[in-house]
A and B are shown apart, each in its own frame.
Chain A
Amino acid sequence: GIQVEQSPPDLILQEGANSTLRCNFSDSVNNLQWFHQNPWGQLINLFYIPSGTKQNGRLSATTVATERYSLLYISSSQTTDSGVYFCAVGGSQGNLIFGKGTKLSVKP
Chain B
Amino acid sequence: EAGVVQSPRYKIIEKKQPVAFWCNPISGHNTLYWYLQNLGQGPELLIRYENEEAVDDSQLPKDRFSAERLKGVDSTLKIQPAELGDSAVYLCASSLLDNEQFFGPGTRLTVL
What residues make up the interface of A, taking CB atoms closer than 8 Å to B? 4, 30-31, 33, 35, 40-43, 45, 48, 86, 88, 90-91, 93-96, 98-101
Smallest beta-carbon distance A89→chain B, Å: 11
Q: Which of B33, B40, B41, B106 contacts A41 (CB 8 A)?
A: B106
Q: Write out the residue numbers on chain B whose beta carbons fall within 8 Å of the beta carbon of A95.
A: 33, 45, 48, 56
Interface residues of B in 88-104 (CB under 8 A from A): 89, 91, 93, 98-103
B33 nearest in chain A by CB position: A95
What residues make up the interface of B, taking CB atoms closer than 8 Å to A? 31, 33, 35, 40-45, 48, 55-56, 89, 91, 93, 98-103, 105-106, 108
Pair A96/B102 contact, Cβ less than 8 Å? no
Pair B56/A33 contact, Cβ less than 8 Å? no
Pair A30/B102 contact, Cβ less than 8 Å? no
CA gap between A1 and B88 in the complex, in Å: 23
B42 nearest in chain A by CB position: A98
Smallest beta-carbon distance A53→chain B, Å: 17
CA gap between A30 and B102 in the complex, in Å: 16
Smallest beta-carbon distance B60→chain A, Å: 12
Pair B99/A48 contact, Cβ less than 8 Å? yes
Pair A90/B98 contact, Cβ less than 8 Å? yes
Given contacts A41-B89, A41-B108, A100-B41, contact A94 B102 (CB under 8 A): no
